[in-house]
Amino acid sequence: MLSFCRRLRIKGSHARLPGTQVLKARCYASAGSRPGFDWEDPLLTKDLLTEEELAISETAERYCQEHILPRVLQAYRNEHYDPKILEEMGDLGLLGATIDGFGCAGVSTVAGGLITRAVERVDSGYRSGMSVQSSLVMGGIYEFGTAEQKEKYLPSMAKGKLLGAFGLTEPNHGSDPGSMECIARRHPHKSGYYLLSGSKTWITNSPIADVLLVWAKLEQTGKIRGFLVERRDCPAGTLETPAIKNKTGLRASITGMIHLDDCPVPEANMFPDVEGLKGPFSCLNSARYGIAFGTMGALEDCIFHARAYALERKQFKGNPLAKYQLVQKKLADAATDVSYGILAAIQVGRLKDQGKATPEMISMIKRQNCDRALHNARALQEIFGGNAVSDEYGVGRHVANLFVTQTYEGQSDIHSLIIGRAITGVQAFA
Ligand SMILES: Cc1cc2nc3c(=O)[nH]c(=O)nc-3n(C[C@H](O)[C@H](O)[C@H](O)COP(=O)(O)OP(=O)(O)OC[C@H]3O[C@@H](n4cnc5c(N)ncnc54)[C@H](O)[C@@H]3O)c2cc1C
């Protein structure tokens, strides 16, 4: 915890994002009488954060605005992901930040969420690359790995020097991963080894990953187990990870497939105890929390730019767009949803640290925040008129990205079924 703060501490703990002063709202209260309204934080959610969480958030925001924002336009256009970004995040202690030990910072769940919000304010694709590394792979190893696996992988992953991917989805089984076909059978000749075969698709980071956490069914039990597949140990032709190109969203992240053809993996690389969907679902729980918080960052960025545009752009008798009621309603809707979303994310984060959070709570905030972020970003996009079509304005990029956040890690309708099952006690999946 301390080392994280030392690395992250910045001067002036209440510094704002670059440029925000220029557009700072007027407060609608006379000085000294009653508190003013802060359009950037209408419900004063900052008051719910600790000093340390504020410092972490501000440092993450500064890094993202100064170092990754300038790269995103070209990265998105060219569908190029620079893995050095993960190394930079590792240098700052942003990877696996909620993990205690193994070179990780051990910060609160809310602080972890604030980091995802800062990254996703720039781009959901950058947040996806970070979430896969931090929550899905490092989180999985931390929760289910042996002592040797933790020592072997976590410190280099925390530095962003060893990159991870999480392979659950298959070409024929997305929302229903329990029906997966990927299989692990005992090696017929080599004792202490399994042979993995099958395909995974839509896997973030797979083309660049050094270690791939692959979920496969053990042939002898039919139960799902987690395997850490190390690329450098795979004989030629047993592991392929082609990139999926020409995506319409998350273009600043890298996505691919995983093809395994009798790929030998030592038993020592299998998670020792966890069986069934509990393993992948537990990793997904943490990552979904990060998405719930992260998407609020993307929506905040849309609000920031839509507001600025509405104040500058004049139509009809020289009036700024901001003067029109329909435009104001779009901004009011978005600001309300972002505030509610952040409050909910903070509450669930606190409950998670107290051991009181349930998967249904995570489903609720993941579904709600992704849906509202997509809905509002799409409405705010209209404020830019024809200019919304230019990628220079960024809002179209957020809209395309937010469709993916609503789809992966449990599509929103699937989360409705999880919540509905908890409310009624009746399973509606099949
Ligand atoms: C850019 C990107 C990155 C990704 N990264 C990863 C990754 O790193 N690792 C990984 O494992 N996966 C990853 N995914 C995969 C993602 O998690 C899946 O796409 C998602 O789970 C949905 O599965 P599917 O695409 O097969 O859709 P399907 O399961 O075919 O669903 C299609 C539609 O049908 C609906 N539907 C399905 N079943 C039901 C039902 N019973 N009742 C009502 N509606 C239903 C769904 O809600 C959805 O709207 C990624 C996807 C994308 C696009």
Whether 143 sits among the annotated catalytic residues: the reply is: no
Asked whether the predicted pLDDT for residue 8 surpasses 60, the reply is no
Question: Which domain covers residue 117, as residue numbers?
Answer: 38-158
Which among 244, 269, 294 is the end of a domain?
A: 269
What pLDDT sits at residue 33? 78
CATH number at residue 48: 1.10.540.10
Taking the CB of residue 378, how many other CB atoms lie within 10 A of it? 18
Q: Atom 40 of ligand 1 has which residue's CA nearest to it?
A: 429
In-domain check, residue 349: yes
Query: What is the arithmetic mean of pLDDT over 279-295?
Result: 96
Ligand 1 pocket check for 81: Cβ under 6 Å: no
Which among 158, 187, 204 is the end of a domain?
A: 158
251-263 pLDDT, tens digit per residue, is: 999 999 999 999 9
For the chain, the average pLDDT equals: 93
**Token match 């289910």: residue?**
144
What pLDDT sits at residue 31? 56
CATH number at residue 204: 2.40.110.10
Residue 137 is which amino acid? V
Asked whether the predicted pLDDT for residue 211 surpasses 90, the reply is yes
Ligand 1 pocket check for 413: Cβ under 6 Å: yes
Model confidence band, residue 129 (pLDDT cutoffs 50, 70, 90): very high
What pLDDT sits at residue 30? 52
Considering the domain architecture, whether residues 151 and 198 belong to the same structural domain is answered as no
Considering the domain architecture, whether residues 226 and 128 belong to the same structural domain is answered as no
Considering the domain architecture, whether residues 66 and 101 belong to the same structural domain is answered as yes
Considering the domain architecture, whether residues 122 and 201 belong to the same structural domain is answered as no
- pTM for the whole structure: 0.93
Maximum Cα–Cα distance across the chain: 82
What pLDDT sits at residue 14? 34
Total tally of structural domains belonging to the chain: 3
45-92 pLDDT, tens digit per residue, is: 999 999 999 999 999 999 999 999 999 999 999 999 999 999 999 999
183-200 pLDDT, tens digit per residue, is: 999 999 999 999 999 999
C-alpha of residue 288 to centroid of ligand 1, in Å:
14
Asked whether the predicted pLDDT for residue 226 surpasses 50, the reply is yes
Considering the domain architecture, whether residues 283 and 363 belong to the same structural domain is answered as yes
C-alpha of residue 145 to centroid of ligand 1, in Å:
26
CA 271 vs CA 147, 188, 190, 410: distances in Å: 11, 21, 19, 23
CATH number at residue 352: 1.20.140.10
Asked if 201 and 244 touch (Cβ cutoff 8 Å), the reply is yes
The atom number, within ligand 1, closest to the CA of 173 reads 26
Considering the domain architecture, whether residues 368 and 291 belong to the same structural domain is answered as yes
Considering the domain architecture, whether residues 87 and 201 belong to the same structural domain is answered as no
